[in-house]
Structure 1
């Protein structure tokens, strides 16, 4: 455990255990180098209203519900995907008991020493924390995560260390969330194509191509509104999220940032970049972020519905504003842009007719 001296922007004593990633060091180094860039104040600008997302009961999509009920449910989901890019689902079949088991396993996992979490091999070497390459507090995420490729969970190369019970829970959660993601994706595609044509959607997505991300957001004593996760859009078809009741998720709307009110019986679904491209911009991949909590740590788990790298994203119909591209090409371009500019550009790179770049004020 170590302590750092007081500054005008943080408490006089900050204790950091061996389990914590070096977020304090990163924060202080960016502060010392003058890399604040308004990042702390920018995490939440002004008063943010808390809102409940549109709520969809997935039991209405079951065969016993009848065709009219299924159509009404899919249409409601499509409206939410078009207007919000986010919605909540109940009747999803992922039990509260299973999610509580996962949360307990996450707590055990993240209590491991930092050196153990960061070593190659643990959960396929998928550990990441903060943003070690950040040049500004705008780019620093006060969080740690394991971003686990599902193809590795059952393999011998994926080391779970002493957490032998974690493997089965992660696999069970991934399977359950996969069913939710597939149900939602087919319903949303069916609203644009018709149910029969959408049955195989999205192409190239399978049990080995998707990811499960286990997140922890430590309590942040430095300043209110520090980013737990910097503003971003998801580079997949869609994401299914289970979060605890601490809160902190915010999304961008026409009226500005709004905070998502946690609901214990619901999972959150959001549209990713690939679904926006496939739908010819009818469904919206919306920028979102997490704001760290000063008093409590936060846990969440996210399932990312991704195709294989060589899969064409395709379109629901022509004309499409986007040229043909594969998921692998999209991922590579995102990584190149982040490395070159410090930010994700995303879908505008793949427009058939890109608008001229706007000049920035000096």
Structure 2
């Protein structure tokens, strides 16, 4: 069985009652230690995310004959975001303490390779939305020293660093302004420290701002192909091409809520593994097998019934094998591409 690195999941949101549930079982979640080990989950990007407060109104949605457009959620206060981020990071670091040597925070490429080899399950600390950071970026340095190795400047809302892309169908990702001056400085500082910048929730102008600043491989950890599913969160062909030209990587997501897989506006629980494989093949055929990976978005979305949870990943790989993928190509998809990109990005 192939072991794999997953580009994005939100399982930390499922650990409100304590990190030990990751090991004792999370039946309502897509991922826990036992099922991950069974499926070949070697390591993954564990997202630290601050949800909007329950008291906030739901974003407005406008329905059209063709689809919909959602407004951006309210901006978070930094105090709230920092508290939520600190709590989620604590849950993450507790995993290593509770694991008795079977789970490790990944800070170096050597750590990651050992996870792929089966020495332990690995967690890469990722921040999805940088609202918790101060404008001077002092906390970025502190979080880096703690173990932060990946950051998305925005989620699908605005903050001091830029504007996320609102969900809309059919819609291009060109939905608003890009990075602020503080956001551009964040990208520069991440490059200096060796923190990967995730493009997944940036709108198109923000994407091109990062591309103009960064000399690192461009990465979207959980995004799909706009030409197949024209939702604003998916990547257009010029964006896909630019990621390939930068030696970067796209982690294909399984999200059907919002739907990022099938051509329709509404997600279909009956969507097939073949539908997900179509996005993988599109990227492979357009920019090469070196630039496509897996980025589930487990526990941050709904996934097709055929996927169910992390145990569905081996079946997806079987679909690709039936389409003619060689073992060497599947190894690139599942872990070698992630290792290559991170070797070019991280400092340690």
Shorter-chain TM-score above 0.5: no
- Higher radius of gyration, 1 or 2: 1
Query: What TM-score do you get using the length of structure 2 for normalisation?
Result: 0.26
Query: What TM-score do you get using the length of structure 1 for normalisation?
Result: 0.25
